């Protein structure tokens, strides 16, 4: 049969996480369909239809789906259960919320945070903050997966495939949307950025994050990240948190400034291609995973790095 990928989008733009989920889905079954659920999201569907490897896009257009609430969305996907062998979503906060609900409706044990597809029924996933990699075989006849986006490259674009409407049956209104507050940022998105500049407790304050770290991030065209300690201390908002229970990133270059390197933080960044650590404590565990370590006061080192970069 086929595999259905749930598109991640904001109503206007298809998220890059979808293209990564498609790459994983193809390994489960080459007949990949993408479901775009929302209200007036034709542009998103058109974009999804151009992803290489996608055979067809299903579009469910209904006001009840506009806010991506889990209850109607899970009902929609589970209602397509007969038609698919596998259901795949990126392990974003929306994928993580809706897919277990789908799995329970289909009486399937979900496999979370897949980092490799070994066979259509066999998957690798990290447990214990990535300290152990588990390979599991699913005995369920249908599979429900969320995939770790940093482990799969995005499917490229090609010529457009057909888009078909799909019927949506409204259910009871269990939840309603009240508000959304999105952090405005001109910086690249954390999980897909090529370079991430991350700060920890060593930054000392929200002001220092902005005054010391942000200029380096901007000079590098990098995303800004943070350790849980920095988030807990209120320096930055939680959506910048890199770690076991925050964002998982694997950029080409990860620069950790004033981050000691707790295992929960390492879980979120240790697959980065090159890791740089700047910390004044030479014993900080972050140095054990860093390709380049600089034992220095970050308040001196970070501006120096910026100054040493070519202008522009």
Partner 1 sequence: MRIMVAVKRVVDPNVKVRLLADGSGIDLTGLKMTMNPFDEIAVEEAVRLRELAIASEVLVVSIGPDKATETLRTALAMGADRGLLIKTDAPIEPLSVAKLLRAAAIEEKPDLILLGKQAIDDDCNQTGQMLAAQLGWAQGTFASNLAVEGDAVTVTREVDGGSQTVRLVLPAVITVDLRLNEPRYASLPNIMKAKKKPIAERQPADYGIVVEQRLEIVRLEEPAGRLAGIKVGSATELVERLRSEAGVLS
Closest distance of CB 175 from partner 1, Å = 4
Nearest to 74 by CA among 41, 114, 50, 108: 108
Task: Please state the closest distance from residue 172 (CB atom) to partner 1, in A.
Answer: 8
By the rule CB under 8 A, 195 interacts with partner 1: yes
The reply on whether position 311 binds partner 1 by CB under 8 A is: no
Helix (H, G, I), strand (E, B) or coil at 226: strand
The distance of closest approach from Cβ of residue 166 to partner 1 in the complex, given in angstroms and rounded to an integer, is: 20
Single out the residue of 166, 161, 140 nearest to residue 85, CA to CA.
140
Residue 72 sits in the site that holds partner 1 (CB under 8 A): no
The residue count for binding partner 1 (CB under 8 A) is 91
The correct pick among 40, 122, 165, 169 for binding partner 1 (CB under 8 A) is 122
Measured distance CA(52)–CA(191) in Å, rounded: 21
CB nearer to partner 1: give 15 or 53: 15
Site for partner 1 in 2-61 (CB under 8 A): none
How far apart (Å, rounded) are the C-alpha atoms in residues 63 and 55?
Answer: 26
Min separation Cβ 108 and partner 1, Å:
7
Instruction: Confirm or reject binding of residue 186 to partner 1 (CB under 8 A).
Output: no
The interface region with partner 1, picked from 34-42, 43-51, 104-112, 198-206 by CB under 8 A, is: 104-112
Phi, psi of 246 (to 5 degrees): -115, -135
Nearer to partner 1, 52 or 295 (CB): 295
Residue 211 binding partner 1, by CB under 8 A: no
- Phi/psi for 224 (5° steps) reads -100, 135
Spatial contact of 136 and 234, defined as CB atoms under 8 Å apart: no
Give min distance, CB of 306 to partner 1, in A: 9
Contact 43, 22 (CB under 8 A): no
Phi then psi dihedrals of residue 186, to 5 deg: -90, 0
Residues within window 216-275 making contact with partner 1, judged by CB under 8 A = 220, 228, 231-232, 237-239, 244-245, 247, 252-253, 262-264, 270, 273-275
* Sheet with 54-61, edge to edge strand ranges: 111-114, 143-147, 86-90, 3-6, 32-38, 54-61, 163-165
- The only residue of 42, 109, 164, 281 in contact with partner 1, by rule CB under 8 A: 109
């Amino acid at each position: 049969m086929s595999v259905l990928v749930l598109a991640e989008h904001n109503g206007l733009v298809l998220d890059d996480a979808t293209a990564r989920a498609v790459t994983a889905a193809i390994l489960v079954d080459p007949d990949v369909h993408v479901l775009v659920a929302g209200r007036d999201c034709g542009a998103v569907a058109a974009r999804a239809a151009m992803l290489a490897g996608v055979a067809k896009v299903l579009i469910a257009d209904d006001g009840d789906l506009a806010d991506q609430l889990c209850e109607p969305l899970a009902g929609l996907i589970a209602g397509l259960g007969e038609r698919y062998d596998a259901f795949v979503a990126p392990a974003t906060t929306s994928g993580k919320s809706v897919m277990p609900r789908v799995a329970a409706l289909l009486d399937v044990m979900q496999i979370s945070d897949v980092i490799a597809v070994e066979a259509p029924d066999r998957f690798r996933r990290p447990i214990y903050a990535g300290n152990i990699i588990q390979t599991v075989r699913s005995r369920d006849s249908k599979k429900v997966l969320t995939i770790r986006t940093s482990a799969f490259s995005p499917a490229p674009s090609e010529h457009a495939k057909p888009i078909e409407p799909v019927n949506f049956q409204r259910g009871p209104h269990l939840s309603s949307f009240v508000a959304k507050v999105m952090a405005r940022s001109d910086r690249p998105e954390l999980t897909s950025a090529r370079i991430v500049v991350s700060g920890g407790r060593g930054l000392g304050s929200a002001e220092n994050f902005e005054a010391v770290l942000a200029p380096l991030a901007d000079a590098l065209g990098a995303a800004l990240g943070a350790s849980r300690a920095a988030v807990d201390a209120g320096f930055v908002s939680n959506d910048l948190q890199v770690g076991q229970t925050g964002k998982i990133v694997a950029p080409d270059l990860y620069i950790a400034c004033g981050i000691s390197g707790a295992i929960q933080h390492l879980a979120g960044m240790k697959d980065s291609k090159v890791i740089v650590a700047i910390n004044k404590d030479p014993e900080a565990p972050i140095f054990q995973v860093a390709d380049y370590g600089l034992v220095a006061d970050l308040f001196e080192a970070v501006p120096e790095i910026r100054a040493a970069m070519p202008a522009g």
